[in-house]
Amino acid sequence: MQDLVRLFGYTHGLKRTFGVIALLSVVTALLNLAPPFVMKIVTDTIVAGLGTHAVNYTYIVGLVVMLLVISLVGTVIDNISGVMGDMLAERMRKQLSTRYYEHLLTLPQKYFDTEITGKIINRLNRAISDVTQFLQFFANNLLSMLLTVLISLGIMLWYSWPIAVFMLLLIPIFVYITAKTSVKWQKYEKRKNKHYDIASGRFGEVVSQMRLVKSFGSEQRELRGFDTRFAKMVGITKQQSTYWHEMNALRGVALSVIYALVFGTLFLQAASGTITIGEMVLLIALVQQISGPMQSMSFFIDRYQRAAANSKDYAEAMAEQPEVVDETGKVALDAQHASVQFNGVSFSYADKKQVLDNISFTIEAGKKLALVGESGGGKSTISNLLMQLYRPDSGYVRIGGVDIQTATQASVRAAIATVFQDASLFSGTIRENIAYGKPGASDDEIESAAKAANAYEFIAEFDKQFDTEIGERGIKLSGGQKQRIAIARALLKDGPILVLDEATSSLDSRSEAVVQDALDRLMHGRTVLIIAHRLSTIAHVDTIVTLRKGRVDEIGSPRELAKTGGIYAQLLELQAATTDKAQEKLAEFDMAA
């Protein structure tokens, strides 16, 4: 319940709407209680008239008209309240979704390194769907039903206190059974959600990498894994549903016993003259009025349990500590013609395994430095530290002599352009992807960047040219085309520092030549950090840093390191060899032949 209350706290500006709905609910509840009194008056009038053979038909017709008016007014108010409740739920959906997305964007990179994408998305979908459905039911029905029950019990107490006591007994019985049910039900729901998150997360991965799945003939294997997860969910649902309906049956038994006592008491009181026939009709109608809300209590409990269970996942995500970005007192970094320096940098991930140990090197302004080392040796971690995706455990990273921790994060990231091995494009148009690093770029700027990246020629061949939709992750483009779009994006951003997770290692020779030409143009005049995947492309860098087990092994020019017998020299020898063993060794260093 605490998580659900906290979830409502994430919404703003909805109190007035909720207050209007509450007022309409009060009116609806009062209107619902009017017909039983009219029926009492009609019944007593008819009984009295039958005794004297003087039934007042005009009076009875007037009461019938009154019933019609009450019904029509109640229908109008109920539907107005329903529209407002639906809008309230939709506005809440918008606010909760936006708040969740906003919070995700502030979380540190390490959060996304450990979370399944499907779980992040499902957490939002479950919470928003179930909480808004609960809110709709609460706003449109619950308050009116509660008022109907309370006022009806008060009227019963006035006319026949035994009836009121019997009906009042239902409340603690329902509360006890519900409290007992809720905890166990939510445990079942948590187990189901775990399997669903894994299954849907894998589903998303398969859909986004369908070519890989088909090329390995893994369709049936993926389907079996998906089916297995849902089969487990079906098994858990059976246990959950069986338990819930057992408890619901207990509620039904309690309701039946209480109603038997109520109707038996009413008939005996009417027969003995303790209450009039009209009062008996009134009380029966009120019992029926309460019966609806009591029967609906099962649905309310189900909605509440789902909302409470799934709001926990949402609340847990919202409780994650955001990336600390306190720009107060920090300087705006001027990275033009600036050097990059790593000094005594050590870093460990959340699992405490040390990745970098006392790393130190310098990239002079306008120079190119390549990192070479075994897979998992910390090359990508170094680039992530430079981009402030992580913070070093010790040591510092400086740009132009300024510790990046003392500079504003916005200025640090604005100074760095990136081209990764995976082009990382978004669905949308070519224009939108090139302009991603500079949203306000003019058409001329976008076109110039495309030309400099050797992308203009193939873009011009499309019917819609720059307005061509490229599909999810650029699926409609070839590898070389995607890389050239990524290079155009980096060119347009025009950051003085370039991080290059070598973009040619997975391309064919023709595409590699075109992309490499664009990369050379991109690197010109910039301070460049290259994560090396192909020795031929780093033969002309200014400096190579080799890494061994998270530490700097050697630093020098390609010519110098080729003579030392170290990692770089060994890789040159392996590249010249043609044996399978040599190729396997190259792969250990993320190197393509």
Instruction: Cite the active site residues.
Output: 502
What are the backbone dihedrals phi and psi of residue 429, each rounded to the nearest 5 degrees, phi first? Answer: -95, 165
| Strand, coil or helix: 557 | coil
Which tokens sit at 202?
């894998």
Diameter of the chain by CA atoms? 126
Instruction: Characterise 465 by phi-psi region: left (phi > 0), alpha (psi -120 to 50), beta (else).
Output: left
Q: How far apart are CA 236 and CA 250, in angstroms?
A: 22
Residue 62 burial (10 A CB sphere; 0-12, 13-18, 19+) = exposed
| Residues sharing a CB contact under 8 Å with residue 198, sequence separation 6 or more, in sequence order | 116, 118, 119, 229
Residues contacting 68, CB < 8 A, separation 6+ = none
Relative orientation angle of helices 443-452 and 479-493, to the nearest 10 degrees: 120
CA distances from 535 to 72, 242, 423, 492, 548 (A): 82, 64, 20, 28, 17
Distance CA 20, CA 181 (A): 33
Q: What is the CA radius of gyration of the chain?
A: 36
Nearest to 452 by CA among 424, 482, 492, 479: 492
Token reading at 449:
């960047």
